[in-house]
Structure 1
Amino acid sequence: MTNRRGLLIILSSPSGAGKSTLTKRLREWDPSIRFSVSATTRKPRPGEEDGKDYHFMSAEDFKRDVAEGDMLEHAEVFGNFYGSPRKPVEAAIDAGEDVLFDIDWQGAAQIRNSVLAPYTLSVFLLPPSITELHRRLVSRGQDSEEVIAGRMKKSWDEISRWDSYDHVLINDDLDQTDRDLKTIVAATRMRRIQQPMLTDHVRQLEAEYKELNL
């Protein structure tokens, strides 16, 4: 058995709050942190590999796994189902590996109600202001005004769920937020529940204490 259990790390934010950049930095800091591979019922696109990009499943198999509790979270998007298979994540956590989830508040809520909730760390990123969030979306130069307005509406829905997360960071200074996020991950790895070897160690201390007859 490894010296610690892995973490199920949830990182959520509205679009434009810096999640992609911070995720990249987190994985550069510790390359052993890996993304969860989602399952989906949509057809593979050219170049996509089963088990690498997605676990491609039939709708019948997906619904069966949901009914049997084998999906940590799931949702229907444009007629296709998407979800996070429980067993690979459970195996990773037992092996001391951290698994990163880039999901919204609905998926996060489902995971917090799953069997892996005790090993979950959830972090929400807030923008410094709505004006700055809007500026970031506009500065990308990728979307029309209509699309940006839709993203802003969805962003506010996400922001309104901030208080259901373990930790909340205001990303007004990227470097500081990066340091704070790494500190949170490092500290959470040391939670008592993440260290299954502690029980045996305390038993050894107890045996030693009795043997010394102090």
Structure 2
Amino acid sequence: MSQGKAVIFCAPSGAGKTTIVQQLVKRIPELRFSISATTRSKRDYEEHGKDYFFLTKDQFDQKLEEDELFEWQEVYAGTFYGTLKSEVEKIWDQGFHVIFDIDVVGGVNLKKRLGDRALAIFVNAESVEVLRERLTNRNTETPESLEKRIGKAVEEMAYAPKFDYELVNRVLEDAVDEAENLVRDFIK
């Protein structure tokens, strides 16, 4: 197995995790993004194989049966997400470190599986109110889906102590700089 490391980013919806991860991939050339698999519907702006590997539930179940996932989780009722082993191994085999943007339970499971080879960072917002405001400003949620995400966010925030580091995203640029320093220290 190659010597690649793993950097795991998890957060409740609206904390800014995806934006931070995207910035880190641009700033740190040794990183490659691990594309997750999901059974959720593709949004109009998303591409299969770029944003996610969009799988049917049957395809996802087959990957599970064949032990092709590092971790997986039913994030919302009937909606599954997971990390394909083949995707991670491909990145490591190319001599890069892998960066993950995954759900909280998946992140905890992946950290357990990879141990010291992984750095797990929990991105948090200052408060649930800030998360609500950010999600509302996205204009991607119905009132029902917003409440579902907020409820999930409150549950996820309780996981922060299980991570190596909690990064509170008050000002995005500062959070990106802090994350970059953490990741560079870890991979060197």
TM-score band by shorter chain is: 0.7 to 0.9
> How far did residue 24 of structure 1 move?
1.8
**Correspondence for 2:9:** 11
TM-superposed deviation, 1:148: 1.8
**Displacement of 1:32:** 4.5
Relative to its length, the structure with more strand (as a share) is: 2
Deviation, 1:84, is 1.5
| Separation (CA, whole Å) in 2 of partners of 1:173 and 1:160 | 22
User: 1:101-131, CA deviations, whole angstroms, 9 ceiling, x for partnerless residues?
Assistant: 11111111221232x3331111111111222
Paired residues for 1:38-187 under 5 Å: 38-39=36-37, 53-54=52-53, 58=59, 61-66=62-67, 70-76=68-74, 79=78, 82-93=81-92, 95-114=94-113, 116-187=114-185
Q: Percent identity?
A: 30
Of structures 1 and 2, the larger Rg is shown by 1
Counterpart for residue 21 of structure 1: 19
* CA shift for structure 1 position 25: 1.1
The whole-number CA distance in structure 1 between the counterparts of 2:88 and 2:154 is 30
Contact 1:8 1:93 in 2 (8 A): no
Shift of 1:81: 5.1
Aligned length: 184
Deviations 1:34-79 (A, max 9, x none): 221334578999996569852857356323323xxx4210134665
* Aligned-pair Cα RMSD in Å: 3.2
Q: 1:49 to 1:141 in 2, by over 3 A?
A: closer
Query: What SS is found at the alignment partner of 1:84?
Result: strand
* Unpaired runs of at least 5, structure 2: none
In structure 2, what residue type is equivalent to 1:104? Answer: D
Q: How far off is 1:185 after superposition?
A: 0.5
